[in-house]
Every structure is written in C-alpha cells, then in structure tokens.
Amino acid sequence: MNTRFASLVALLIAATIAGAAAGEDWPQWKGPNRDNRSIETGLLDTWPDGGPEKLWTSPANLGKGYSTVAVADGMIYTTGIVGRDEYLFALDTKGALQWKKTYGPGWTRSHGGARTTPTVDGTWVYVISGHAVVARYNAKTGRRDWSVDAMKRFDGRNVAWGIAESPLIVDDKVICTPGGPRATMAALDTSNGKTRWVTRELSDKSAYCSPRLIEHRGKQIIVTATHRHIVGVDAETGDLLWKHGYRGQCSAHPNTPLYSDGSVYFTSGYNAGGVMLKLAPRGDAVEPAWTDKTLDTHHGSVVRVGEHIYGSSWHGNGNGNWVCLDWDTGEPAYDTHWHNKGSITYADGKLYCYEERSGNLALVEATPKGFNVISSFRITEGDGKHWAHPVIANGRLYIRHGKALMCFDVRGADFNPDGKGADATDAARHKDRPTEDEIEDVTRSVDESRADAKLKLARSYLKMGMTRKAAELLRSILADFPDTAASDAAKAELEKLK
C-alpha cells in the first residue's frame, strides 16, 4: 500500500473510531443508562474566559420548572408550567419550538414547577406530572396517545413538594411510583397505559426518586428509594425482592441510585448520609457494606468514575461542599468548598459541576486527587433556582434555568458527530483514485476498527453490570464482523455469560 493511501487508511480508521464513541443522544433523566455519564469523547479540555461558545438561548417560554432536557433523534424535550398547567415542549436542535402539549394541572404549591424529565423511547415520549399523571405522546407530532391518573388509579398519596419522577421504560412497560396502599410502584403497558403489575408489599409514599433498571447476574431489578426504604423490585413481575430501611431528617430521597459490580449506592440530604448495599447472588437480598455521612447529597445526583463516587454534600438547604468517596470503602478522598452544593454530570474525563445558588458552572478534573477547577463561568439567563442538571449530548451542553434553555458548544477539535472525518473525505475526493485492492484493504481495516470499538463498548457495559445490552452488542459483532479478532473475543465473552 502506497504512502498516500496509507494516510487515507489512518484517517478513515481514526474517523470510524471517533464516530463510534463521539455523538450520543441523552434520551432520559441522567442519560442513556441513568448513570449520569456520557460516553462522548473529543470534548473541550478547557473553556475560554466567559465559558464555551453559546449557540443559542431558546426563544420559547418554557414556563416554571426544574426539568432537565431529553435529547433524541434531532429533537429536544423538556417540561414546564405555564399558568396552572404542565406542558411538554418539543424543540429542534436550534431551540425553536416545534410543539407543546399540556398533560394536566401542574404542581403549583411549595416550590411549584415541573419536575419530570421526559423519556424518549423510539417514536414515543413519556412524562409524569407533579400529580402523578403518566402520559405518552408521539415524539414528532405531539399527538397524545394515552394518559393515566396514577394517583387516582392506585389510591396514591402525594407528597409535600409534588411527584418528582421521570418515567423509566423497561421493555414494553413504563414504571411509575404513585405510592400508597394499592401500589407503591406500578408498571403500565406502553401501548395503552393499562396496568401490568403493581408492588403492594410496602404501602410507602413516593420520595421524589426516579428509579433505575439494573441487571444483576442476568436478573433485571428496578431500584429506587421510597418514603422509608431503598428497594429492589423484580422488573418482570413487580414482586418486592428486598428493602433496606433508610431515613434522614426528611423523607425526600431524590437521587437515583448508582449500581456497579453487584453493589447499589444511595445517598440523600438532610443528614441521611449514604450507604453501599451488597446484593446477594440471586438479587433477592442486600447487606450494607459501608455507610458515610460526608457525601450527603441533597438532589444534585452523584456519579461513579473509575473507583470513586463524586457529588456535593448538604450542609443545610443553602450550603454544601464537593466530595469524592472511594467506591469500595466509602473513605473520603476530598471534601472541598466551592461556592455551594449543586448538580453534577460526567463526560470525557471531566465533571460538569453546576452550583445552585448563583449558577456557577465548572469543568473539573475527574480525579480523587482534589477538586481541581479547570474552567468556570456563570449562568446569568433564566430565573429561579439553579436546580436543573447539566446535559451533554452530541457535543452540546444544555443548561435549563427556569424559563430559559441555553445550548453551548463543547466540541473539541477531535469531535466527530457523524463519524466522518473531514480530512478523510477530502482525501477520498483526490483525483488519484485508489485501486480495488486498496479499497478492499481499507474496508477490512475500517471493519476491524469498528469491531474493536464495539467490543470495547460491550466490555464497558459488562463492567457496569449491563449484561443484556453487552450481549446484544457482542452478538452484533458476530453478525457484522465475522472474520475479525474482535469476533473471536466477542464469542468468548458470550460464552462467559452463559
């Protein structure tokens, strides 16, 4: 292969690998896996003075709310209260309003405003109101397909600050937590809203927590926090598998649990602290491995990066520090004051920390060595509390602040949103066209690189305990790249899962 074409091969391979892990949608609360992590790469390592370039502020009035955004298939979704009704908004990627639909009265009492982040699943988008109305809409047109008053259907009992749950989709079921004697948790059929199962064993109120699906040794378990417990529910039947008593000074437990390596971590503010629960092999029981009072996260979420947990602590409603804990032991690596407590998201080796009092947003090194701010700037648009969490999708950083939604460009020089390297494209247009043998060599090289990238992603899923998703990816490697080293490795990984 000549030097010119060897360069083309390198460019094509680099573009393919970058494309495999570059642009990614954020279709629900806390991202694709509800773990508060983006797998995007090639993002900015530092921001200029004043922050990254702002691409737009949506001209739409999004109303009052603390909802983050869901980004999927070229659309952006969020919720807000206008007047007394709660609305689902659909925007294009330039922030222009495409449609808005109401799904009933919004929560207008204490800390009024929309809470739910929409969940996009294929051609449908789901929401849950502050009064536990669950609704499904066509993601493109906004046509409502069905709506269920879960509070009324299950005799639920609302809580002091309104239901603050984002829908979880498990196969053909949408999960909600109305709370009450008839159903602490319920699964509705995604096609028609009919009840598929209920969890009656607890009779606990909801506690502002959005549940998460985990896969433990091949078993799907829904984990969440209720008024008095951290619980695990069989995703297929709704049966209560286990519960662990958990309460602080207040029964608000809004942080979605973390899961990895057979362990569930949960934390809440109001001096409740955090606890690491070790699951039994069959997933039907838990034992506490350690507890901690340093990382006492209010409602800003936590994230695991490597062998550490990152988040902010509650030192009363108006103050807090930024904390890093060891995943295995709960020992603090740092406990640092920076403005105030807030929300956190992870992408490309960095933490995006958004403090809630004044709207300072920082890019921070994801290292247990210290809370090292690389760059920061202040969000000055919008109104109300800075409670909506940062979202990173397709090289864009989205910040919601009350009525305002802002979009910032955080793509670095190596970011490839569609997997096509511009230099490679220019080279391919060169008048000296490659021979058929050279094309075959390039195709083989690119296929091998794509297979390797998929294998790496599948192994990441395995480390996170997401065996079903990993198995699907491994099987696709066998089907699409049968004569590669990655195919042999995928076959070996699938054998281990049997």
Indicate if 7 and 72 belong to the same structural domain.
Answer: no
Indicate if 402 and 423 belong to the same structural domain.
Answer: no
| Whether the predicted pLDDT of 267 surpasses 90 | yes
Residue 28 lies in a domain: no
CB 278 within 8 A of CB 265: no
Report the distance separating Cα 135 and Cα 148, nearest Å.
6
Q: Please report which helix (H) or strand (E) contains residue 75, including its range.
A: strand 75-82
Query: Residues 98-131: pLDDT tens digits?
Result: 999 999 999 999 999 999 999 999 999 999 999 9
Indicate if 177 and 230 belong to the same structural domain.
Answer: yes
Indicate if 338 and 433 belong to the same structural domain.
Answer: no
Which residues, 6+ apart, have CB-to-CB distance to 164 below 8 Å?
A: 115, 116, 130, 208, 210, 254
Report the distance separating Cα 498 and Cα 488, nearest Å.
16
Q: Please report which helix (H) or strand (E) contains residue 233, including its range.
A: strand 229-234
Indicate if 479 and 387 belong to the same structural domain.
Answer: no
Looking at 266-275, 321-330, 417-426, which range is the least confident one? Answer: 417-426
Whole-angstrom CA distances from 457 to 189, 279, 402, 484, 490 are: 31, 25, 36, 16, 11
Report the distance separating Cα 494 and Cα 498, nearest Å.
7
Region of 98 (left: φ > 0; alpha: ψ -120 to 50; beta: rest) is alpha
Domain that holds residue 430: 3-21+418-497
Place of tokens 């809630």: 356
Residue 29 lies in a domain: no
Domain boundary among 375, 409, 443: 409
Query: Residues 348-406: pLDDT tens digits?
Result: 999 999 999 999 999 999 999 999 999 999 999 999 999 999 999 999 999 999 999 99
Instruction: Report the domain count for the chain.
Output: 2
Report the distance separating Cα 123 and Cα 181, nearest Å.
34
Query: Residues 161-191: pLDDT tens digits?
Result: 999 999 999 999 999 999 988 899 999 999 9
Q: What is the pTM of this model?
A: 0.81
Indicate if 94 and 172 belong to the same structural domain.
Answer: yes
Indicate if 315 and 430 belong to the same structural domain.
Answer: no
Residue 31 lies in a domain: no
Domain boundary among 381, 409, 437: 409
Which residues, 6+ apart, have CB-to-CB distance to 429 below 8 Å?
A: none
Torsion 479-219-311-361 (CA) sign:
positive
Residue 466 lies in a domain: yes
Strand bridging mode 342-347 / 37-38: parallel
Indicate if 209 and 347 belong to the same structural domain.
Answer: yes
Query: Residues 286-328: pLDDT tens digits?
Result: 999 999 999 999 999 999 999 999 999 999 888 999 999 999 9
Indicate if 423 and 399 belong to the same structural domain.
Answer: no
DSSP-derived secondary structure for 181-199? SS-SEEEEETTT--EEEEE
CB 486 within 8 A of CB 474: no
Residue 32 lies in a domain: no
Residue 457 lies in a domain: yes
Whole-angstrom CA distances from 421 to 18, 42, 94 are: 9, 13, 23
Residue 8 lies in a domain: yes
CB 287 within 8 A of CB 274: no
Indicate if 465 and 394 belong to the same structural domain.
Answer: no
Report the distance separating Cα 39 and Cα 60, nearest Å.
29
Domain boundary among 390, 409, 428: 409
Q: What is the CATH number of the domain that holds 398?
A: 2.130.10.10
Indicate if 166 and 212 belong to the same structural domain.
Answer: yes
Indicate if 393 and 485 belong to the same structural domain.
Answer: no
Q: What is the pLDDT of residue 462?
A: 80
